[in-house]
Chains A and B, each alone.
Chain A
Amino acid sequence: MGILVSKNQLVVPGEVLARGSGVNVAGGVYRKKVKGETEIIASMIGLVKIRKDSVGVVPLEGCYIPLEGDIIIGKIVKVGITSWNVDIRGPYVGALRVNSVLDRDFDSLRESLDQVLNHGDVIKAQITYFDRTRDPVLTMQGRGLRKITHGRLIEVDPVKIPRIIGKKGSMIQLLKNMTNAQIIVGQNGRIVVSANSVEKENLVINAIRKIEAEAHTSGLTDRIRAYLDAEKRKL
């Protein structure tokens, strides 16, 4: 067993990270047998993650892959008879059934779904079910899950969402506390920002863009704090 790279090193797909058996794989890598020896090779651009006896890559680019339990921000793209189709910014379209939105019975003969949620509406929803044979199923029954009526919607790279939230939510708390803005983060890389002035919203959005661009560096929370301090004084 031998790990050939150091922690947090930038790697590209195809780079050999470790050789020999006894090394477990985390995400972003694959195993291959070369001349009887197992090699662990990166499959994404990212930073090397080493934990005990496993090695993986934290990707810096990537699309959103739905996970059960994820809170996401979706857009209604189709209104059907008893369900909606929701764009969740992933490879698959989410299905939202009427009984996971309304508490009451719904009579499709008397009322139409577009009175509840119409084409183009933005919603905060949760993924209840997803496997690779069927499209993701969403629900809007849960705490805070609702139609989003105001704020500014921005899109970021989904793999950078963990950085925007920070360790135990430290980064997002910092943003909220320093700007008093309301920020809704969806795991699929959509963020809704609303504050009491356009300038403040711009400030939050710029800070998020900065986090996105510098996601692979360390000491980010401190830099964002300094950035917000400096920018707030200009307001």
Chain B
Amino acid sequence: MTQEKTSLLLDNGRRLDGRELHELRPITMRSSVLDRADGSCYLTWGNNKIICAVYGPRELHPKHLAKPDRAIVRVEYRLATFSVNERKSPAPRRREYELSKLIKESLDAVLFLEKFPNGTIDVYITVLDADGGTRCAALTAASIALADAGIPMKGFITGCAVGKVADKMVVDLSDVEDKDGQGDMPVAMNHNTGEITLLQCDGEFTTDEVKEGLSLAVDAIGEVYKMQREAVLAKYTQIEGKIDDLGEEEE
């Protein structure tokens, strides 16, 4: 007995959560949320909740991993046990190793690691609530946390997924669209230079669809980048605002 699949698009052409085809989910970002870490970020992206902490550059143990000409980046991406529908075992799985690796490689491309030979930069990402697109959200959060830690970098890495749902290219897939859709394509790039540091593809796309998807992703990344920039500077602009208020009261 086969079950008929429900369509992922509503009759009015919108998506199941009411979004337009090329609309992002609501995103919030805050930097410097953790006191102990050198840099940190809390990011919500739709129903995704991600917290990221950065330590370093610091001394690397075990020493044999050290590179004499540059620092290494260690990324630990973890899904919390309660982040998914069924309890996830706290031990890292294949998926977490994969995401840690590709986030690391993506960040490697923008950090000036040669400034800290023999050192390490540790990035810990915990997904508290997962609803599709966590790798892009995690990368976005990680670059905020790295900038917050004062680690020199070429620019922010910003991520956003695109995909195919009901034969249409859509931006920022949710969990349902990711699982039941026809394909997804996470993209991450340095928005300032246009260099793509992560591009994966799952499912079947025609050449035109890939081209369309990439240009959609670039536009979406531009939007996310603006929020990223604001989030990083919020800490300073808020204080400036407070002081201006005080000045007016005195007058």
Query: Which residues of A lie under 8 Å from residue B112 when comparing CB positions?
Result: 30, 43
> What residues of chain B have their CB less than 8 Å away from a CB belonging to chain A?
38-39, 56-59, 68, 71, 112, 116-119, 147-156, 190-193, 229, 232-233, 236-237, 239-240, 243
Picked from B56, B116, B192, the residue with its CB within 8 Å of the CB of A41 is B192
Query: Which residues of A lie under 8 Å from residue B68 when comparing CB positions?
Result: 133
Cross-chain contact B149 with A63 (CB below 8 angstroms): yes
Picked from A15, A41, A60, A132, the residue with its CB within 8 Å of the CB of B236 is A60
Picked from A41, A60, A133, A223, the residue with its CB within 8 Å of the CB of B243 is A223
Question: What 5 A-B pairs have minimum CB-CB distances, sorted nearest first?
Answer: A14-B155, A62-B150, A61-B150, A14-B192, A91-B57
Additional A-B contacts beyond A14-B190, A44-B150 (18; CB < 8 A): A13-B153, A13-B156, A14-B154, A14-B156, A14-B193, A32-B154, A41-B192, A43-B112, A43-B152, A44-B147, A59-B150, A61-B148, A61-B150, A91-B71, A92-B119, A213-B239, A214-B243, A216-B236
Judged by a CB distance under 8 angstroms, whether A224 is at the interface is: no
Shortest CB-to-CB span from A91 to chain B, Å, is 4
Known: A12-B156, A14-B154, A91-B59. A45 touches B147 (CB 8 A): yes
Known: A61-B148, A159-B150. A12 touches B233 (CB 8 A): yes
Query: Which residues of A lie under 8 Å from residue B59 when comparing CB positions?
Result: 91-93
- Number of A interface residues at 8 Å Cβ cutoff, please give it: 31
Q: How far is the CA of A91 from the CA of B119 in the complex (A)?
A: 6
Cross-chain contact A45 with B192 (CB below 8 angstroms): no
Shortest CB-to-CB span from B42 to chain A, Å, is 17
> What residues of chain A have their CB less than 8 Å away from a CB belonging to chain B?
10, 12-16, 28, 30, 32, 34, 41, 43-45, 59-63, 91-93, 132-133, 157, 159, 213-214, 216-217, 223
Find the B residue at minimum CB distance from A226. Answer: B250
